[in-house]
């Protein structure tokens, strides 16, 4: 099992090139199933989740090739509609192939995606959308099968602005007969990125990025070439590292407007932030001021940055309150931070963080992908050498993570213990 060793206590300096967004490229890969032919996704990050999604498509008969940021996908000859269960259980995002398969072939089946460390993560809103479009759904023994002769446009209200449900329904509706309207849709930048690529493929989608998305179904779609947007969560994680160590970083290949909820909070804790057209310059504060954080669907503070901010707020003069409203169990990292001396008490969906003067190095676990980034931030702040297990979690969402950390001055080693 690979572990990361980090010796904390030094300031980080330098430049970081931000990779393409994991949470955008995964639905983009799924969307190529809507057409036959060869699509190309540029600036694709080399991540284990991307490799898993490509394996899912290959099991369906597609061909994929990754070469230096360029992902080529040939979806001409699909010969299956069921990905292997172990891949679906490994990565929830594989459920995003459901909508495209249903739209292209009229059927799809797979093991039900499991929950994970951060919550039950149901799929009821995805299924509500598919049923509204005319699909029949059968669920039993941990398995789901759906089919439809022809999808027909419908008006669908999402009880929660689910990112995945919005994406799945938008993809299915692209080839449905007539008009589909998604009310209370998710606004995340990744939704807009997907709508942009679907538009290049010939889909007719209006309103992506707002509460209401209108899709006029078309009879067929064609392959596309599309560049993934930069990863706002990777960028946010590095901004937190600069703030945590009082360092100075320049992030390149970012869209600053996607990071406003985070940069606003980092300014409140005392960081100095300047934004360029596609870059962000941050100077960490000498002393971190407490702030209150409440995670919300975009454009609110992103839940995927909650763990990283919690790590940052453990060392400051004062008390911060972090409230998680998106997932029901996303404070697993608090117990790991306590091992390093943090003073965190959980009260329902809120955590009360009483700042301490410093953290002590410890052996900690990455309970999920973003908690892993939070452990790195805490280790960079702590006195001594910390050991972080679960590098495989981190590699799911951070391309070239260890190299990027070394380049900005993190004293880091990989141990295969
Ligand atoms: C996406 O997950 C992201 N993953 C997550 O990032 C992110 O945390 C999440 O959106 C919220 O922003 C990808 O894009 C691959 P949701 P998704 O459907 O689509 C409930 C990371 O670390 N819900 O918006 O699964 C659900 O239980 C990952 O990169 C239903 O109730 O998130 C949760 O409480 C973690 N019914 C809330 O909505 C449904 O049918 C948000 O889920 C679907 C969701």
**Residue with CA at minimum distance from ligand 1 atom 4:** 23
Which residues make up the CATH 3.65.10.10 domain(s) of the chain? 2-19+231-416, 22-227
pTM recorded for the entire structure: 0.97
Q: Which CATH class is domain 2-19+231-416?
A: alpha beta
Q: Which of 120, 125, 376 has the alpha carbon at shortest distance from 241?
A: 376
pLDDT per residue as tens digits for the range 91-138: 999 999 999 999 999 999 999 886 666 777 799 999 999 999 999 999
Sign of the torsion formed by the C-alpha atoms of 131, 190, 19 and 70:
positive
Q: How many A from CA of 338 to the centre of ligand 1?
A: 27
**Residue with CA at minimum distance from ligand 1 atom 7:** 304
Residue-wise burial string across 179-200, b where 16 or more C-beta atoms lie within 10 A, e elsewhere: ebbbebbbbbbbbbbbbbbbbe
* Measured distance CA(387)–CA(375) in Å, rounded: 9
Write down the pLDDT at residue 63.
98
Contact (CB, 8 A) for 370 and 308: yes
Write down the pLDDT at residue 120.
73
Residue ranges around ligand 1 (CB below 6 Å)? 22-23, 26, 92-93, 119, 121-126, 160, 162-165, 303-304, 326-327, 369-370, 397
Contact (CB, 8 A) for 330 and 119: yes
Write down the pLDDT at residue 2.
87
Query: Which residue of 114, 162, 233, 329 sits with most ligand 1 atoms within 8 Å of its CB, as the best mutation to test the pocket?
Result: 162
Q: How many A from CA of 121 to the centre of ligand 1?
A: 7
Q: Which CATH class is domain 22-227?
A: alpha beta
**Residue with CA at minimum distance from ligand 1 atom 28:** 304
Q: How many A from CA of 5 to the centre of ligand 1?
A: 30
Q: Residue 328 CA: which ligand 1 atom is closest? A: 34
* Measured distance CA(193)–CA(191) in Å, rounded: 5
Q: How many A from CA of 17 to the centre of ligand 1?
A: 26
pLDDT per residue as tens digits for the range 319-341: 999 999 999 989 999 999 999 99
Q: How far apart are the first and last CA of the chain?
A: 6
**Residue with CA at minimum distance from ligand 1 atom 37:** 326
Contact (CB, 8 A) for 16 and 251: yes
Q: How many A from CA of 4 to the centre of ligand 1?
A: 27
Q: Residue 167 CA: which ligand 1 atom is closest? A: 19
Residue-wise burial string across 78-103, b where 16 or more C-beta atoms lie within 10 A, e elsewhere: eeebbbeeebbbbbbbbbbbbbbbbb
Write down the pLDDT at residue 117.
66
Q: Confirm whether 116 is a catalytic residue.
A: yes
Write down the pLDDT at residue 113.
83
Identify the segments of the chain with pLDDT beneath 70: 114-117
Q: Residue 124 CA: which ligand 1 atom is closest? A: 40
Q: What are phi and psi of 317, to 5 degrees?
A: -95, 90
**Residue with CA at minimum distance from ligand 1 atom 41:** 162
Q: Residue 298 CA: which ligand 1 atom is closest? A: 12
3 forms beta bridges with 389, 415
* Measured distance CA(369)–CA(272) in Å, rounded: 27
Write down the pLDDT at residue 116.
66
pLDDT per residue as tens digits for the range 243-280: 999 999 999 999 999 999 999 999 999 999 999 999 99
Q: What is the 3-state secondary structure (H, E, C) of the chain?
A: CEEEEEECCCCCEEEEECCECHHHHHHHHHHHHHCCCEEEEECCCCCHHHHHHHHHHHHCCCEEEEECCEEEEECCCCCCCCCCHHHHHHCHHHHHHHHHHHHHHCEEEEECCCCECCECCCCHHHHHHHHHCCCEEEEECCEEEEECCCCECCEEECCCCCHHHHHHHHHHHCCCECEEEEECCCCCHHHHHHHHHHHHCCCEEECCCCCCEEEECCCCCCCCEEECCECHHHHHHHHHHHHHHCCEEEEECCCHHHHHHHHHHHHHCCCEEEECCCEEEEECCCCCCCCCEEECCCCCECHHHHHHHHHHHCCCCCEEEEECCCCCCCCHHHHHHHHCCCEEEEECCEEEEECCCCCECCEEECCCHHHHHHHHHHHHHCECEEEEECHHHHHCCCCCHHHHHHHCCCEEEEEEC
- Catalytic residue, candidates 44, 54, 116, 240: 116
């Amino acid at each position: 099992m690979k572990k990361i060793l980090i010796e904390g206590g030094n300031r980080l300096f330098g430049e970081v090139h931000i990779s393409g967004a994991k949470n955008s490229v995964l639905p983009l890969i799924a969307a190529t199933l809507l057409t036959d032919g060869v699509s190309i996704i540029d600036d694709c990050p080399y991540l284990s989740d991307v490799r898993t999604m490509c394996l899912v498509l290959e099991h369906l008969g597609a061909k994929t090739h990754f070469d230096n940021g360029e992902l080529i996908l040939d979806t001409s000859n699909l010969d299956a509609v069921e990905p292997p269960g172990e891949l679906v259980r490994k990565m929830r995002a594989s459920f995003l192939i459901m909508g495209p398969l249903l739209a292209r072939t009229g059927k799809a089946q797979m093991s039900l995606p499991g929950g994970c460390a951060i919550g039950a993560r149901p799929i009821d809103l995805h299924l509500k959308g598919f049923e509204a479009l005319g699909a029949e759904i059968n669920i039993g023994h941990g398995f789901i099968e759906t089919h439809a002769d022809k999808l027909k446009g419908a008006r669908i209200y999402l009880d929660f602005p689910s990112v995945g449900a919005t994406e799945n329904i938008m993809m299915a509706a692209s080839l449905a007969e007539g008009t589909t309207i998604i009310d209370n849709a998710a606004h995340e930048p990744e939704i807009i990125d997907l709508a942009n690529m679907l538009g290049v493929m010939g889909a007719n989608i209006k309103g992506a990025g707002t509460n209401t998305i209108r899709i006029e179904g078309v009879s067929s779609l064609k392959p596309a070439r599309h560049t993934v947007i930069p990863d706002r969560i990777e960028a946010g994680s590095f901004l937190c590292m600069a703030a945590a160590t009082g360092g100075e970083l320049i992030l390149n290949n970012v869209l600053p407007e996607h990071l406003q909820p985070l940069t606003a909070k980092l300014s409140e804790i005392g960081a100095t932030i300047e934004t360029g057209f596609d870059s962000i310059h941050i100077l960490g504060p000498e002393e971190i001021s407490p702030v209150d954080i409440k995670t919300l669907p975009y454009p609110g503070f992103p839940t995927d940055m909650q763990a990283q901010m919690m790590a940052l707020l453990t060392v400051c003069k004062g008390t911060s309150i972090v409230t998680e409203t998106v997932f029901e169990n996303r404070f697993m990292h608090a117990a790991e931070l306590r091992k390093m001396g943090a003073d965190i008490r959980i009260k329902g969906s809120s955590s009360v963080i009483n700042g301490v003067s410093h953290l002590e190095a410890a052996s900690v676990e990455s309970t999920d992908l973003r908690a892993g980034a939070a452990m790195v931030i805490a280790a960079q702040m702590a006195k001594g050498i910390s050991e972080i297990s679960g590098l495989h979690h981190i590699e799911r969402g951070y391309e070239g993570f260890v190299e990027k950390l070394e380049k900005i001055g993190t004293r880091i080693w990989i141990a295969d213990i």
